[in-house]
Amino acid sequence: MLSFDDQRLTLPEGGSGERMQVNAGVAAMRKTPTPGGTQISQVLHGETVVLHHEEGEFGLVQSEADRYVGWVLMEALSAPVLDVTHLVQAGRAHTYADPKITAAPHFTFGVGAKLSATGEREGRYLRFDRAGWIVDHLLANADTVEDDPIAVAMRFLGTPYLWGGRDCLGIDCSGLVQIAFGACGVSCPRDSDMQQAWLGDPVAGWDQLGTLQRGDLIFWKGHVGLLVDSDTLLHANGTFMTTMVEPLAPAIERIANEYGEPLEARRVDISKCRGVEPDWLTPRR
């Protein structure tokens, strides 16, 4: 069983403790404080982190959403932390320098990005601090929660696979699960082994015909996918380097060559998990 004090989720003692907010479109979270360091996760625009200390251009931070720890470029972070007023609901959405379609684009956001409105509106465009202007129908109010994680995950179809990715321009298998359930108000840990240990409940007899259902998760050692229905898998995968759907049975046969046989399936009761702060999230540094 994984420890809630897993090293991936634990900052060293001390440090500044300053809360900061991502001002970039997305910021890589790296294993080491170097531009070429392995990307272990990402923090999205408007998400918040706790800063421990700086080293050169980088800061050692902990995400407040999932407790994940890594090094982020300081130029991607700002203080103070602004109140979030809107969420991006579209699969991809550009922000602009001015409220018109011909204006220079600033960022490309996807599901998971959080925004702070200035109160300014020009026609169908709203202006956001640190982001620019965005068309209003691509957004939702900050308190909006969705009901179907599969519908959320389907917005990422065709998104390239990216190790450590959580963004509309690149995502990995556990990042897809985290964003999909997060949009439905369910706190979800970052990595697939954490998700298997702490998210949902085991599905008894999952490998029997007709047992699996939409929204179930199937786990391999080092990989996770979502079930669109009892025999269709949705996942971001490094074999085809994309986010895709495929029949479950041949996928299991193919994935066995890389990750072995599936370990288990798990089911998340959104009605019980929504808005709940789970045990793994509470023992902060």
Distance (Å, whole) CA 216 – CA 206: 10
| Contact indicator for 175, 236 with CB cutoff of 8 Å | yes
Sign of the alpha-carbon dihedral angle for 149, 150, 155, 157: positive
Count of beta carbons in the 10 Å neighbourhood of residue 15: 16
pTM over 0.95: yes
Q: Which of 200, 284, 94 is nearest to 192 (CA)?
A: 200
pLDDT in tens, 215-233: 999 999 999 999 999 999 9
Strand ranges (E), 74-183: 77-78, 86-88, 93-96, 105-109, 114-115, 117-122, 125-128, 132-135, 139-141, 166-167, 170-171
User: Token pair of 242, please?
Assistant: 């994309």
Q: What are residue 70's DSSP bridge partners?
A: 61
pLDDT at 7: 94
> What are the structural domains, with CATH classification, of the chain?
7-78 (2.30.30.40), 86-141 (2.30.30), 149-281 (3.90.1720.10)
| Contact indicator for 217, 225 with CB cutoff of 8 Å | yes
Distance (Å, whole) CA 114 – CA 71: 21
Distance (Å, whole) CA 20 – CA 42: 15
Flag whether pLDDT at 254 surpasses 80: yes
Give the confidence band of 282 by pLDDT, cuts at 50, 70, 90: confident
Distance (Å, whole) CA 161 – CA 238: 6
pLDDT in tens, 155-203: 999 999 999 999 999 999 999 999 999 999 999 999 999 999 999 999 9
Q: What is the DSSP code (8-state) at residue 57?
A: T
pLDDT at 285: 47
Flag whether pLDDT at 237 surpasses 80: yes
Q: What are residue 43's DSSP bridge partners?
A: 27
Distance (Å, whole) CA 197 – CA 204: 16
Q: Is 117 helix (H, G, I), strand (E, B) or coil?
A: strand
Flag whether pLDDT at 268 surpasses 70: yes
What is the DSSP track for 28-56? EEESSSSTTSPEEEEEETT-EEEEEEEET
pLDDT at 283: 65
Flag whether pLDDT at 284 surpasses 60: no
Residue 53's region, left for phi above 0, alpha for psi from -120 to 50, else beta, is beta
Average pLDDT over residues 20-26: 98
Distance (Å, whole) CA 81 – CA 43: 14
- Single-letter code of the amino acid located at 46: G
| Contact indicator for 206, 271 with CB cutoff of 8 Å | no
pLDDT at 222: 96
Give the confidence band of 132 by pLDDT, cuts at 50, 70, 90: very high
Average pLDDT over residues 68-74: 98
Q: What angle do CA 174, 43, 115 make, to 5 degrees?
A: 115
Distance (Å, whole) CA 213 – CA 40: 30
Q: In the chain, pLDDT over 90 holds for what percent of residues?
A: 96
Average pLDDT over residues 106-129: 98
Average pLDDT over residues 65-70: 98
